[in-house]
């Protein structure tokens, strides 16, 4: 299922990115572009990322999942 329409990022892409080492939303965004344009996908992307981290046995903290805005 598409999570980020702006950058065509699917839930599978998010899971794969986590499995390849992304452990923060910043890393996920850097690797996929997810959440960097309109932002409407951020909540759902964070949820999918949290589930993927839990599947790896990694506790997802709010710090790891928070969005860091650039100025």
The Cα angle at residue 29 between residues 25 and 33, in degrees rounded to 5:
160
Q: Is the dihedral of CA 19, 21, 27, 32 positive or negative?
A: negative
Taking only the tens place, the pLDDT of each residue in 19-61 is 999 999 999 999 999 999 999 999 999 999 999 999 988 766 5
- Domains parsed from the chain with CATH numbers: 2-65 (1.10.10.1100)
Instruction: Kindly tell me if the per-residue pLDDT of 67 is higher than 70.
Output: no
């Amino acid at each position: 299922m598409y999570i980020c329409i702006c950058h065509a990022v699917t839930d599978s892409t998010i899971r794969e990115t986590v499995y390849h080492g992304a452990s923060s939303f910043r890393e996920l965004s850097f690797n996929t572009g997810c959440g960097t344009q309109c932002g409407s996908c951020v909540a759902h992307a964070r949820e999918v990322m949290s589930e993927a981290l839990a599947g790896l046995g990694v506790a997802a903290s709010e710090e790891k999942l928070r969005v860091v805005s650039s100025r």
